[in-house]
Amino acid sequence: MPAPISKLSLIVPAYNKDSEVFKSVCSFVYQLKKLPYDWEIIVVDDASRDFTLREAIRSKKFNGNTHRIKIFSYDLNQGKGFALYYGFKKSIGDIVVFADSDLDLPMENIPVALDYFQKNGADITIGSKRHPLSKVKYPLARKIQSKTYQMLIKLLFNLHVTDTQVGIKVFKREVLQDAFPRIVVKQFAFDLELLVVANSLGYKKITESPIVLNYQFSSTIRLKSILRILQDTFAIFYRKNWLKYYQVARYRLEQDESLITPQKAFI
């Protein structure tokens, strides 16, 4: 008797990505059709001010209005972390993949991450710029920023990973079910907090997969954002080590959900 096909949910947060989201979703569909999963794509428009929602809807129509592509939107920008949480609540997959909606990370990275996830029996697999098989092209200034930040993370949290910020991550569903009720950060340091919380809950089998990264300047990090990342990073350290905050589920993201008004969904 053949093994049951795993259900896979690919969650794509999008904010002011305009036509990039159309290209990304179409590329996701192309890749997922070749994989042995019962898949769905969930696009979450994080209150974009451009044509992101329209382009997401266009990608669904272009792919035959398939039920496998689901689009959600709300009226108040909340940040990438909240958008991923919101998409997770709408998902059904046993395996959950996070993927950015810009074009810096080719969609071919997804089957590679899934392969590492399955072969290693991992709780979490994260794409890493520092994997020895990665092929990375991005500016020297960004390399220095990224390396410095990862050294800080190693010092503060002793996480056995070389890169927390790449936009491709694969999870067992139960990891996110346990971690999301403890998450506070909704912006750039969300990835770090999620890994810190999951690790503290005992989900320690975290593997890294190689990536291809072609930096196209479609995502930017300004000085203000860097300072906010650092502020959030030290706040995560304080919550974990001094407040013991993550030992209890506090449902902060669910509380934040009361701030938004969902718009029409396309499912």
| pLDDT tens digits for range 155-167 | 999 898 999 989 9
What is the predicted pLDDT for the residue at 1?
A: 41
On whether residue 264 sits in a domain, the answer given is no
Question: Where residue 216 falls among pLDDT bands split at 50, 70, 90?
Answer: low
All residues at 6 or more sequence positions from 192 whose CB lies less than 8 Å from its CB, including other chains:
153, 157, 164, 165, 185, 232, 233, 236
Average pLDDT over residues 5-28: 96
CATH number at residue 148: 3.90.550.10
pLDDT tens for 165-180 read: 899 999 999 999 999 9
pLDDT tens for 112-130 read: 999 999 999 999 999 999 9
Question: Where residue 205 falls among pLDDT bands split at 50, 70, 90?
Answer: very high
Strands (E), the chain: 7-14, 38-45, 69-73, 95-98, 124-128, 135-137, 169-172, 206-210, 212-214
Report the alpha-carbon distance of residue 136 to residue 129 in Å, rounded. Answer: 6
Report the alpha-carbon distance of residue 226 to residue 245 in Å, rounded. Answer: 24
What is the predicted pLDDT for the residue at 143?
A: 80
- Per the listing, tokens 């200034």 go with 141
Q: Write the single-letter amino acid at 188.
A: F
Query: What is residue 124's three-state secondary structure?
Result: strand
All residues at 6 or more sequence positions from 38 whose CB lies less than 8 Å from its CB, including other chains:
5, 6, 7, 8
Residue in 137, 98, 91 with CA at minimum distance from that of residue 117: 98
- The number of distinct structural domains making up the chain is 1
On whether residue 266 sits in a domain, the answer given is no
On whether residue 2 sits in a domain, the answer given is no
On whether residue 239 sits in a domain, the answer given is yes
Instruction: Supply the DSSP string of 73-103, one letter for each residue.
Output: EBSS---HHHHHHHHHHH---SEEEE--SSS
pLDDT tens for 32-47 read: 999 999 999 999 999 9
Its domain, for residue 35, covers: 7-259
Question: Where residue 3 falls among pLDDT bands split at 50, 70, 90?
Answer: low
- Per the listing, tokens 């904010």 go with 15
More confident residue, 165 or 66: 66
Please give the mean pLDDT across all residues of the chain.
Answer: 93
On whether residue 124 sits in a domain, the answer given is yes
Report the alpha-carbon distance of residue 46 to residue 186 in Å, rounded. Answer: 11
pLDDT tens for 246-258 read: 999 999 999 999 9
Give 25: exposed, middle or buried? Use CB within 10 Å, 0-12, 13-18, 19+: buried
